[in-house]
Amino acid sequence: MMAEAKVKTVVKLRVEGTCPTHARTDILARDTELTIDEPKERGGTNLGPSPTETMLAALAGCTSVISQKIAHKHGAEFSNVSVDVVSTFDRRGVTLQEEVDVPFEDVQVMIEVTTDADDATMDRIKTELPMFCPVSKVMRQSGSNVTDVWTVNRP
pLDDT at 1: 58
Predicted pLDDT at 2: 63
3-state SS assignment for residue 84: strand
Give the range among 2-16, 19-33, 63-77 with minimum mean pLDDT.
Answer: 2-16
Per-domain residue ranges of the chain: 14-48, 51-153
* Cβ atoms 152, 120 nearer than 8 A: no
Q: What class does CATH assign to 51-153? A: alpha beta
Q: In what order do the strands lie in the sheet with 145-153?
A: 79-89, 104-114, 145-153
Secondary structure element (H or E) that encloses residue 56, with its range: helix 51-73
Amino acid identity for residue 34 in this structure:
L
The predicted pLDDT at position 3 comes to 67
Task: Name the DSSP class of 134.
Answer: H
Q: How many residues does the chain have?
A: 155
Is residue 7 very low, low, confident or very high in pLDDT (cuts 50, 70, 90)?
A: confident
pTM attached to this predicted model = 0.93
- The arithmetic mean of pLDDT across residues 73-87, rounded, is 98
Mean pLDDT of 52-75: 98
What's the rounded mean pLDDT across residues 8-12?
Answer: 92
Residue 6: its pLDDT value, please? 82
* Section 27-40 average pLDDT: 97
Q: What is the CA 62 to chain-centroid distance, rounded?
A: 4
Kindly report the backbone phi and psi dihedral angles of residue 66, in degrees, each rounded to the nearest multiple of 5, phi listed first.
Answer: -70, -40
pLDDT, mean of residues 49-78 = 98
Residue-wise pLDDT tens digits, 111-148: 999 999 999 999 999 999 999 999 999 999 999 999 99
| Amino acid at position 55, single letter | M
Q: What percent of the chain has pLDDT over 90?
A: 95
User: Would the pLDDT of 101 be above 80?
Assistant: yes
**Residue 51 pLDDT greater than 70, yes or no:** yes
